[in-house]
């Protein structure tokens, strides 16, 4: 069932667990992820970046194949198809194409401009029952406690935009961490006391499971994973190619990373303590 993320994230908030957001880049990754989440009977958010949508041919392509997989594989878990780091223009296109959720990233703009653009998108998206995640403070690694946003800015952003989920920058970053990130745990704790909305962690690949568990306890309910699955797939693929030099069937080559990807998914879901759908 294709749905927005509101029910799954509110339930996760109540149960002090997190819902995984896994980025997809093609049909195969989507199938690996959905099969494993169905087996574990947990809800999942599939994230599609602007680049990934372009790579696949446009926003309607992942909508079409995700719906087809739900039908063909008899999937019963709640599945949210979500734009990852969209512009307003791209989010509008994705909503028209059938996405059930969007993330607007105008965090590099001034707070006032970020609020304005986010508010416009929220007003539009909510007419179509599409959930909206907003970002405040640019998500990139930072050190020495010099965090890119603070409680007052986050509260103002939330009050004025009424986003359904908030991704505050807390010293997290995308890609591979080259040293342990310094994370602003206090901001998550204060925010989850002050406002009743799901909080989102980006760039979770490479953050220790202890810190992930701590953040979930403090109020993080959506955790974005991209790099971890890509690395897992790469490991399986490189190993396969090394020992199967004569294989040229793309189905075998692409699927050679499947087991690693699905093992990583299971490990993350255990860390997030994602509750089964009853
Ligand atoms: Zn992100």
**206 and 236 Cβ atoms separated by less than 8 Å:** no
* Burial classification of residue 272, based on how many CB atoms lie within 10 Å of its CB (0-12 exposed, 13-18 middle, 19 or more buried): buried
pLDDT in tens, 2-49: 999 999 999 999 999 999 999 999 999 999 999 999 999 999 999 999
Mean pLDDT of 217-230: 96
d(CA 154, CA 149): 7
Residue 278 included in any domain: no
Active-site positions?
Answer: 84
What's the gap in Å between 248 CA and the centre of ligand 1? 34
Task: Flag whether 21 is in a domain.
Answer: yes
**Predicted confidence (pLDDT) per residue in 110-155, tens digit:** 999 999 999 999 999 999 999 999 999 877 766 555 778 889 999 9
Residue 225 lies in a domain: yes
Task: Measure Cα distances from 141 to 136, 169, 173, 205 in Å.
Answer: 14, 9, 5, 13
Burial (Cβ within 10 Å: 0-12, 13-18, ≥19) of residue 224: buried
Task: Please tell me the distance between residue 252's alpha carbon and the centre of ligand 1 in angstroms.
Answer: 30
More confident call, 273 vs 147: 273
- Is there a domain that residue 277 lies in? no
Domain count, the chain: 1
> What residue has token string 């602007």?
50
Structure confidence at residue 173 (pLDDT) = 85
> Looking at the predicted structure, is the pLDDT value of residue 62 above 90?
yes
CA of 144 to the centre of ligand 1 (A): 22
Residue 103 lies in a domain: yes
The CATH number assigned to the domain holding 205 equals 3.20.20.70
Is residue 150 a part of any domain in this protein? Answer: yes
Contacts for 54 with CB less than 8 Å, ≥ 6 apart? none
Query: What domain range is 85 assigned to?
Result: 6-272
pTM, full prediction: 0.96
In a domain? residue 28: yes
pLDDT digits (tens, 9 = 90+) for 233-260: 999 999 999 999 999 999 999 999 999 9
Looking at residue 186, what is its pLDDT?
92
Q: State the Cα torsion 82-140-138-13 to the nearest 10°.
A: 50
**122, part of any domain:** yes
Per the DSSP assignment, residues forming a β-bridge with 22 are 46, 225
In angstroms, what is the span from residue 202 Cα to ligand 1's centroid? 5
């Amino acid at each position: 069932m294709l749905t927005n993320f509101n029910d799954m994230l509110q339930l996760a908030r109540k149960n002090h667990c997190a819902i995984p957001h896994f980025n997809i880049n093609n049909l195969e990754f989507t199938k690996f992820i959905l099969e494993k989440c169905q087996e574990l009977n947990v809800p999942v958010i599939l994230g599609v970046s602007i680049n990934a949508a372009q790579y696949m041919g446009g926003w309607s392509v992942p909508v079409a194949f995700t719906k087809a997989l739900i039908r063909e594989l008899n999937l019963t878990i709640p599945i949210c198809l979500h734009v990852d780091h969209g512009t307003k223009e791209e989010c509008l296109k994705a909503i028209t194409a059938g996405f059930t959720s969007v993330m607007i990233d105008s965090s590099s703009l001034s707070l006032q401009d970020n609020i304005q653009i986010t508010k416009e998108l929220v007003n539009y998206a909510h007419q179509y029952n599409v959930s909206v995640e907003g970002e405040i403070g640019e998500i990139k690694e930072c050190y020495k406690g010099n965090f890119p946003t603070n409680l007052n800015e986050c509260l103002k952003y939330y009050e004025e935009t009424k986003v359904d989920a908030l991704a505050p920058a807390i010293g997290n970053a995308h890609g591979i961490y080259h040293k342990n990130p310094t994370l602003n745990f206090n901001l998550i704790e204060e925010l989850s006391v002050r406002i009743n909305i799901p909080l989102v962690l980006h760039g979770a690949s490479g953050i220790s499971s202890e810190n992930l568990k701590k953040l979930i306890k403090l109020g993080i309910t959506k955790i974005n994973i991209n790099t971890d699955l890509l690395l897992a797939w790469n490991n399986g693929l490189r190993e396969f190619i090394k020992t199967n030099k004569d294989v040229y069937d793309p189905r075998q080559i692409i699927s050679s990373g499947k087991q690693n990807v699905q093992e990583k998914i299971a490990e993350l879901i255990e860390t997030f303590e994602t509750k089964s759908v009853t």
